[in-house]
A and B are shown apart, each in its own frame.
Chain A
Amino acid sequence: MEEPSGLSSMKFFSDQHLSYADILLPHEARARIEVSVLNLLRILNSPDPAIFDLSLINRKRSNSCINQGVLTDVSYIFLSTSFTKSSLTNAKTAKAFVRVWKVMEICFQILLQEKRVTQRELFYKLLCDSPDYFSSQIEVNRTVQDVVALLRCSRYSLGIMASSRGLVAGRLFLQEPGKEAVDCSTCGSSGFAITGDLNLLDNTIMRSDARYIIIVEKHAIFHRLVEDRLFNHIPCVFITAKGYPDIATRFFVHRMSTTFPDLPILALVDWNPAGLAILCTFKFGSIGMGLEAYRYACNVKWIGLRGDDLNLIPEESLVPLKPKDSQIAKSLLSSKILQDNYRDELSLMVQTGKRAEIEALYCHGYDYLGKYIGTKIVQGRYI
C-alpha cells in the first residue's frame, strides 16, 4: 500500500485520496449523524436486511502517508483511504461497533442543546447510560476518534470542548471579532492565553512586525524569554504549548504561518527524543489525530538544543535517557517521515544514551539564553 515517496510526489497524489476532517457547524454535524442513522435504518428495513460494517479510516501507521511538499516546504502526515472494518458480527469488534453509535447519540443531544461537553463528562454520561460498553476514559477517547473517522468531521464539531494550553507573547496584535486588539507584548510574563475555540481562532485578525516565530517547548523557558523581553531585541513572537501541543495551539501556529508566510518558524526544545517528538508534531501532525493533522502542519525548523551545542553545557547536565525516551526514539527512528539530519541527532542521543535540557545553558548565566538564540538566528543555524 505504500509507494516510494519519490514516485508519489511525481504523480502529485492524483491517485491517492486525501482523508481529512471538516470543521462543521452544529447543525451540519447533526445532519451527518442523522444521515448515518437513516442509512442504517434503511438497510435494516430493506428486503435484504443486513447490518453493514462500519468503515472507519484506518488510524494505524500502515495507513499513514507523507505528503512531501513539492511546491511548498510543508510536509504532513495524512491518512489514506484504507479502512478498518468494525463489524457487529465479529466478536472482537462488536462492542466497538455499538460504542460508536452510543457516542454519536450523546453528541447529537449535546449539539441540539447547543452546548459543549468535556471528554471526562462524556465518560461519566456513557458510564451511566451504557455501563456494559464503556469502562474507561481511554475507550471513550478512542471511540470519539472513531466517530471523527466515520463522520469525517473534527472532534470540536461534535461538541467536545477543546481546551488550550497555549500561550503567546511578543510582537503580535490579535483582534477577535467585535473586540479591541490585544498587544501580546504587554501581557506580562505569562503571555496571552490561546483560546480553545477554533472558530474564534479562525476569525481572529493578526498583525505583526516580527521577523521570526519561535516555538518554545517548556513553560519555564517561555517565562524566562518573555520576562527578559527578548522579543524587543530579536523581533519575534514566542509561542508555547507547555509540552505536547494541543490542537488549538497548532491551529494558532498554522494560522500565523499562513498569515505571515515569510516568517521562519523556529523551535526551541530539549535535546531529548520527547523534545524532538514535540517538534515533529508541530511539523507534521500526529497519526492518532490523523484526519485533523494535515490542517495544522507547518514548516518548523529546529534551532536548539542540538548536538553541536553540547560543548556549551557542563558534563553534569548531560543525564541518562529514561526508558520512555528510548521508546520514543525508536518510534521516531522507524518513521519514514524523519529527515536525515534529525535522524542523526536522534542516533547521537541513543548512542550516547544521554539527554539535556535547555536550562543547562544557564550555567553561563540566565541571560545567556537570549544570546544563544540570537547567535543561532544570525548564523542561520537551524535545520
Chain B
Amino acid sequence: IFVADCAFLGFENTLQRDMEGKISSSEDTNLLQRIKEFTRLVIEDLAEGRSPKISINRFRNYCMNPEADCICSSDNPKGQEILTLKREPQTYRIDMLLRVLLIVQKLLQENRHASKRDIYYMHPSAFKAQSVVDRAIGDICILFHCSRYNLNVAFPVPVLVEEVEDIVSLAEYILVVEKETVFQRLANDMFCKLNRCIVITGRGYPDVSTRRFLRLLIEKLQLPVHCLVDCDPYGFEILATYRFGSMQMAYDIESLRAPDMKWLGAFPSDSEIYDVPKQCLLPLTEEDKKRTEALLLRCYLKREMPQWRYQQTSTSFCIYISYNSTKTSLDENNFGRLRLELETMLERGVKFEIEALSVHSLSFLSEVYIPSKICLEVTSP
C-alpha cells in the first residue's frame, strides 16, 4: 500500500522522500503553501495597520425547521462569519486558530499524525479546554476547504486513505454493522467466506477515520452498502450518521457520508415478521422517547413519503413495495420508511437489539435474515 510514484484517488501526485525516508505527498505541500500564503496575508494586513478579515462559512446538515423547506440537503454553506481583531471574542478565536495552525504545519512538514487531544496537551495553558482546540480545527478545515485528516489531525485507521494505491476485491457488497458483537457473530459464522462481502464495524458511533475508509471503499469498488443497526434510538442515530453525516463534521459531508447506503434493518416491523419473543422486546425509556422525537424533527426525514404496502406469505418473506408518487433515492434505500418505522416504534413503546433475532437459532442472522434482506434489495422494483 505504501508505494512511491503512483497516481491515486484522482490526484496526480509525485511523492517525495524526505531525509528520513518518510513520504509526503504534494497534496500536503499544496496545503502547506496555502497555509504560508494565508499567514502572509495576515501579516501584510497587520503590517499595514489594519485588522485581517477571516471569513468562516457555517455549515449544517440538518435543522429542526418544521416546514422542511430548508436548504440543508445541499452541501453549500449556510451563511458565514467574519472574524476580525476588532472584537475580543473574535480575537481570541483567531489567536487559537493560528496556534493550532502552527502545530498543524509542523505535523504536515514532518508527516506525522496527532489526535485533537494531543494538540490540546501541547499548550494546555493557552488552550484551556479541549473544546477550544476542536473549534479551531473546525475553523481551519472550513477556511482551507479540507478535511481533518488532510491536516493530519486524525489517526489513520485502518489505513492512511491518501496513500492507498489500489484496492482489489471479489466482494459483491459491503455490510456495515453497528456493534462489534454482531461483527464477531458474523466472523464466527464465517459470513464473509460464504457470502462474498466486506463487513465493517465502527463499534458504535463511527469515527472520522472509519467513515473516511468506508467512503474510500465505496468510491473505489462501487459496491452497494447495507447497514445493520439495533432497532433503538441509538442505532438509528448511528444509521443517520453514516448516511447523512454528523452535525459536527457538517463542513466535511462530501468525504464522510455514504449517500447510497441502504438500511438493512432491524426494522420495528421485523419483530413481528421474524417472531421475536415478547420478553426480548425492551421498553423504551424516557430518554429513548426524547431522542426518537428529536430525530423525527430533523428535516431530512421529512422528505416526501410514498405510500407503500407490504405483503407477507407464510412460506417466504416477501416485501412488495408499490409507489404512488415519484421514487426518490431515499425510498430505494429504505430511508423513505425510516420516518414511518420510527413512529411505529414510538407507538409500540418497545425496542430490540439484533441479538434478539437469534434467540431461536444462533445462525439465523447469517443464514436467513441478512441474505434474505439483501436478496430483496436486488429484486425489489
Which A residues contact B (CB, under 8 angstroms)?
110, 113, 115-118, 120-121, 123-125, 127-128, 131, 161, 163, 188-190, 196, 220, 223-224, 227-228, 314-317, 357, 359-363, 365-366
Contacts and interface: CB of A to CB of B under 8 A. Distances in A.
Contacts of B184: 118, 161, 163, 196
A106 to B, nearest CB: 11
Nearest to A220: B115
A258 B158 CA distance: 31
Contact of A360 (B121, B185, B280, B356): B121
A120 B362 contact: no
Interface string B351-362: 001011011001
Given A359-B117, A360-B121, A189 B362 contact: no
Given A118-B184, A120-B181, A317-B124, A224 B279 contact: no
A196 B188 CA distance: 11
Closest 9 CB pairs of A and B: A359-B121, A316-B124, A362-B121, A128-B359, A131-B279, A128-B277, A118-B181, A316-B125, A121-B355
28 contacts: A110-B362, A116-B188, A118-B355, A120-B355, A121-B358, A121-B362, A124-B280, A124-B353, A124-B358, A128-B279, A128-B359, A161-B188, A188-B159, A188-B160, A189-B113, A189-B157, A190-B159, A220-B117, A227-B155, A228-B112, A316-B128, A357-B121, A359-B121, A363-B123, A363-B124, A365-B122, A366-B114, A366-B122
Interface in B149-177: 155-160
Contacts, number: 94
Nearest to B155: A223
A306 B358 CA distance: 48
B180 A366 contact: no
Contacts of B112: 227-228, 366
A188 B160 CA distance: 9
Contacts of A124: 280, 353, 355-356, 358-359
A113 B364 CA distance: 14
B185 A118 contact: yes
Contacts of B117: 220, 359
Nearest to B282: A127
A230 to B, nearest CB: 12
B280 A362 contact: no
A224 B118 contact: yes
Given A128-B359, A363-B123, A115 B188 contact: yes
A127 B114 CA distance: 44
Given A227-B113, A366-B112, 10 more contacts: A118-B355, A127-B280, A189-B155, A189-B156, A220-B115, A220-B155, A227-B112, A316-B124, A359-B117, A362-B122
A190 B114 CA distance: 13
Contact of A115 (B277, B280, B355, B362): B362
Contacts of A362: 118, 121-122
B185 A128 contact: no
A228 B113 CA distance: 10
A227 B112 CA distance: 8
Contacts of A314: 124-125
Contacts of B363: 115
Contacts of B155: 189-190, 220, 223, 227
A236 to B, nearest CB: 20
B360 to A, nearest CB: 8
A220 B125 contact: no
Interface in B82-119: 112-115, 117-118
Contacts of A116: 188
A324 B118 CA distance: 24
Contacts of A118: 181, 184-185, 355
B110 to A, nearest CB: 9
A177 to B, nearest CB: 18
A279 to B, nearest CB: 21
A347 B139 CA distance: 43
A363 B277 contact: no
A121 B113 CA distance: 38
A155 B373 CA distance: 34
B101 to A, nearest CB: 16
B163 to A, nearest CB: 10
A42 to B, nearest CB: 32
A246 B160 CA distance: 28
B274 to A, nearest CB: 13
A360 to B, nearest CB: 6
A371 to B, nearest CB: 15
Nearest to A117: B362
Contact of B280 (A113, A128, A316, A359): A128
Contacts of B353: 120, 124
Contacts of B356: 124
A334 B96 CA distance: 45
B359 A363 contact: no
